[in-house]
Amino acid sequence: MSAAKSKMREKKMRNQPISVQYPASQDVESNTQNGQNTSVTAGAFARARAAEVSTMLKAVTKTTGSCHVFGALPKHMRRRAMSHNTKRLPRRLRDVANRMREKSLQTGSKKKKEQAKSKSRRARRRHGNLLLEFNRRQRKNVWLETHIWHAKRFHMVKKWGYCLGDRPTYKCYRPCYRAMSTHCLLQDLSYYCCIELHGEEDKLLVSLSQLTNKETGPTFAAAVCISGRRQGSVVVYRAGKYPSQPVGPVTFLWRPRMQGSTQRQLWIWAHPTIKQDLLTELQIVCQCEAVVAPVVPVVIPAEVPPLPEPESTSAKATQIPRMKRKRNCKDARGPPAKKILGDGTRSPTTPITWKSSSTGIVINDLTMEIVRYRLIGPQSHYVLAETLEAATVCNENGNKSQPSSFWWPEHCKDESNMNLHQQQAEVFHILKEIYSAAELPSGTVLGLTVDDPRLTLPTKKVKALPCLKQAQESDEEKSRELMLRGVPEHCCQSFLWDQSVRDNVTDNKISEQALNRMRNEVLVPGSRLSPTPLQGRVPILLVHQPGKQVGHEMSSWGAGWDLLLPKGWGMAFWVPLVYRGVRIGGLNMSLKHSQNKGIPHFPHDYPDCPAGTRFQEEQETELLDKYKRRPPAKRTNYIKHGCLAPFRCPWQQLVEEWELITKEGREERKGEGQTHNKTDADTVMEEEMTSHLDIFVTEPQSCFTVLRNRKSLRLISGWCRPTTSKGQRPCRTENATPLDSIAVASFLTEHRMSLVWVRLSLLSKGKPELNSMVCAPLAEDLQLLGKKSDSHSPQEPPHRNHFKSRVKQRKKGSEKAATSSVSSDRIEVRGSDLPSTSEPDLTTSAKDPKSSCQSSTDVILGLWPDPLPSITAHCSRVTLGWVTQGDFSLSAGCGEALGFVSVAGLLNTLLNQPREHRGLLLLRNPNSLHYRFAKINIEV
């Protein structure tokens, strides 16, 4: 008999009496063959069976805590719903079930609270209950007005206090790119924060001048922008701290001047991550203090009678409490639930207005008060022309003297307003005759009042396309004047600037129910409502967004329009735009749009801003968690690939090491009397790098900055010989300073601790990835330019992983130290495993068991532990910087990378390169040993 069968037999026989023995199968066979019979004692056998029968009866009659009444039912009648509703049980068992239910509620010192009964799906889907549920879910994360539409079609993410759509659930990467290139892509940018400044123009400009600098480009005082005709953009710094401590990029829009008034209005649009920092700086420079809003007391209506008290406690105990599915008449007395418009997470005590008693400047927080949509593509103006129609004039000849509760009838009583509206409608009509949105001046602003777009909603989706017949019959002079000079200043005015008009339009919006009722009353189904309802006029602002403005290829790619609306009208404009055949993009498409335009994307590409630093920390944590989830054998060993920081970019350490390298290089050249021969420049660079293998960065002396001085950027761009994406057409640089050691030294005196934004275009195949290394090529590498095979491309020799064996030895040492409680034994390490000067010694931590336990938890196999060694000279090629965005560019047809490099490292590399190969660098992905040649472009 096998061991398993013997164990099973022992388990069966453990409750049998001692006198009863059942022989094994072999014994039974042998006894039958020999003619022997097995003897059984009758008395002992009867006593054993009687004990079993009594035990069985006791188990059947005993009721445990887990037994229930419906256990007495046959299996085919048992239902889980019977435990919740006793009326489903047969009548003979209902009384018993009710008694058991009451007993379970009364057991214990504290009565068990009955579980609330969930409402049915039909009750939950009622409009009022849905609104209550949606309002509750918006207390933590703000929902945009298009949230429900996006939640059904997009992967939603919670960022910056909002719930936003990241990417669609269907595959549409290339269709979205085609929409941006040939038709139109629609995005909801209502999460951007709007801050309004109101005051005298001179005082506003004096205050805002402390936050900007003319070296970075046009400021708030630009002549074209201050007139209100164009939208401007600028990088805001802390007051008086330029070029360090930037806050972030913002866009601004001035309201056109009003006749007879010196007061001006300014809207500043900022990313939500820099809203608080920007508000703090504005309060400082404008000398504003918070205005406390009056607390409105809650008044309880007196006519509501108190609820009657129960007659007796016994009657209350006999009743079975149940949740209500519907609200009765008493509950219907309260006001119905309303949809949250604006910022629902803001506390009533949070100030939204700041006023200065000295300067008279007023700051208002208009976050979520204005809806902002972005249309990207050459035919975005066709989509707007098909969707929007200029507001019709009210025909109230006999009722002009009577005031109206709506803003548009009162507005129509003034002839000057009607003349302005007619001129704006003519300019909007000319937009239909322009071939592409890129032909208009960048930042053009047009104010307009339009009818409710739901009135002209088509029955099915139709792609908006240009009308050729209308374009041929158009007036070419007016369209040419619009393309050259832009919109006239008086046509940039809009009533969207007035708070009272915005509130009137939001409060008097026609509901979908009322609109559908009006459509049913139309004689011809599908025809437009006539006359247009008085509350169906909406003031809007159209702001032109420029396309690609840098480089020599794909000029004006990605141009479009921004549509500004009052709050509450988001879905009323969103659905008609979708019905014109546009593509919808999320946060992912915003990043790709910036990559194709070659501009930094906030907060990804602003490492010197607090928001950019926080973003990189969050990104590092996310990538590190994803790396830890994979087993060590199935993930990349970055130590062997020579990648010190695969999940982050240590910019501060990079600029400090290059500052030390350039400083020692200048001292060596001075000691040699500047007689050094520069013919073998690569050997000089290698000697300088090998002398700094033991660099360990201490506390930073000064924070790094990103070079944004346009004059300096143009100079360094000329030294790099900017070309097209594939390095074919050089650009002429007139009156440029020649590149020599004197020019480089003078340039570095001003920008020694700076990084510069660059665009790298691969000369061969390859796809750049996040945090790829940008390195300087050697003389031997430049000789491989003509060979396009991967076997002839530069390669990084594999590095040795010294940490794997040390971690094992450390664990063994800590175990021995814990068992023997003696930490004086020294762990011997083989000579081949001794750490080099560029690697930290981890064996010393094995002396102390506490430190070894801490270090063993910190060290991750395949990653370098902190502190990092010299990042510039760790690999065979000198490191200059890293890539923050990288992908295959569909617009350029090759792999493109965007990132930052050290100004000192770049200038030293350019100075030591031959002229025919100047501007060529190497790019290596973190999980690869192959270097790719790339052409550097610094575009201003």
DSSP character string of 401-451: SS--SSHHHHHHT-HHHHHHHHHHHHHHHHHTT-S-GGGSPTTBEEEEEEE
Q: Which residues pair with 450 in a beta bridge?
A: 390, 538
Confidence (pLDDT) at 550: 80
The most distant pair of C-alpha atoms in the chain lies apart, rounded to whole Å, by 131
The whole-angstrom separation of Cα 134 and Cα 132 is: 6
Q: Residue 667: is its pLDDT beyond 80?
A: no
Higher per-residue confidence, 788 vs 653: 653
Which residue do the tokens 């969103």 mark?
A: 574
Sheet holding 583-584, edge to edge: 445-451, 537-545, 560-566, 370-376, 185-188, 583-584
Q: How far apart are CA 534 and CA 393, in angstroms?
A: 10
Average pLDDT over residues 19-30: 48
Percentage, residues of the chain above pLDDT 70:
77
Look at residue 611 in the predicted model and tell me its pLDDT: 94
pLDDT band at 690 (very low <50, low <70, confident <90, very high): very low
Distance in Å from the first CA to the final CA of the chain: 88
Position 39 confidence tier, pLDDT thresholds 50, 70, 90: low
Omega into 914 within 30° of 0, i.e. cis?
no
Kindly state the percentage of the chain with pLDDT values over 90.
40
- CA-closest candidate to residue 884, choices 896, 875, 876: 896
Contacts of 624 (CB under 8 A, 6+ apart): 647
**Burial label, 4 (beta-carbon count in 10 A; 0-12, 13-18, 19+):** exposed
Tell which residue, 693, 877, 905, has the closest CA to residue 794.
Answer: 877
- Cα 93 to Cα 82, 83, 529: the distances in Å are 11, 12, 64
Of 606, 610, 542, residue with least CA distance to 885: 606
Residue 263's DSSP bridge partners are 200
Ranking 281-290, 335-344, 411-420, 752-761 by mean pLDDT, the lowest is 335-344
Q: What is the pLDDT of residue 121?
A: 87
d(CA 568, CA 155) in angstroms, rounded, equals 24
Dihedral of CA atoms 49, 53, 59, 61 in degrees, nearest 10, equals -170
How many angstroms separate the CA atoms of 844 and 866, rounded? Answer: 15
Report the pLDDT value the prediction gives residue 125, as an integer from 0 to 100.
Answer: 86
Output 262 or 232, whichever has higher pLDDT.
232
Mean pLDDT of 851-878: 76
Beta bridge partners of 478: none
Calculate the average pLDDT of the chain.
80
Task: Summarize the confidence of residues 907-921 as an average pLDDT.
Answer: 88
Of 546-555, 654-663, 787-796, which one has max mean pLDDT?
A: 654-663
Q: Are strands 445-451 and 370-376 parallel, antiparallel or unpaired?
A: unpaired
The pLDDT value given to residue 826: 36
pLDDT band at 551 (very low <50, low <70, confident <90, very high): confident
Q: List C-alpha distances in Å: 626 to 622, 623, 650.
A: 6, 5, 20
CA–CA separation, 639 and 915 (whole Å): 35
* 284: Cβ contacts below 8 Å, ≥ 6 apart: 239
Q: What is the pLDDT of residues 578-590, one digit of tens each?
A: 999 999 999 999 9
Contact 574, 146 (CB under 8 A): yes
Strand partners, 447: 541
* Residue 453 scores a pLDDT above 80: yes
More confident residue, 246 or 823: 246
Q: What is the pLDDT of residue 168?
A: 94
At the fourth CATH level, the homologous superfamily of domain 638-799+871-937 is Aminomethyltransferase beta-barrel domains (2.40.30.110)
If we measure between CA atoms, which residue out of 424, 387, 343, 370 comes closest to residue 186?
387
Is residue 877 predicted with pLDDT exceeding 60?
yes
Work out the angle at residue 522's Cα, subtended by the Cα atoms of residues 518 and 527, and round it to the nearest 5 degrees: 105
Contacts of 220 (CB under 8 A, 6+ apart): 204, 205, 208, 209, 212, 226, 232, 234, 252, 266
pLDDT tier at 230, thresholds 50, 70, 90: very high
Quote the pTM value.
0.78
pLDDT at 469: 58
More confident residue, 36 or 224: 224
What pLDDT was estimated at residue 17?
Answer: 54
Torsion sign, CA atoms 432, 434, 435, 436: negative
pLDDT for the residue numbered 820: 58
Judge whether residue 932 has pLDDT over 60.
yes
Measured at the CA of 326, the angle between CA 322 and CA 332, to 5 degrees, comes to 120
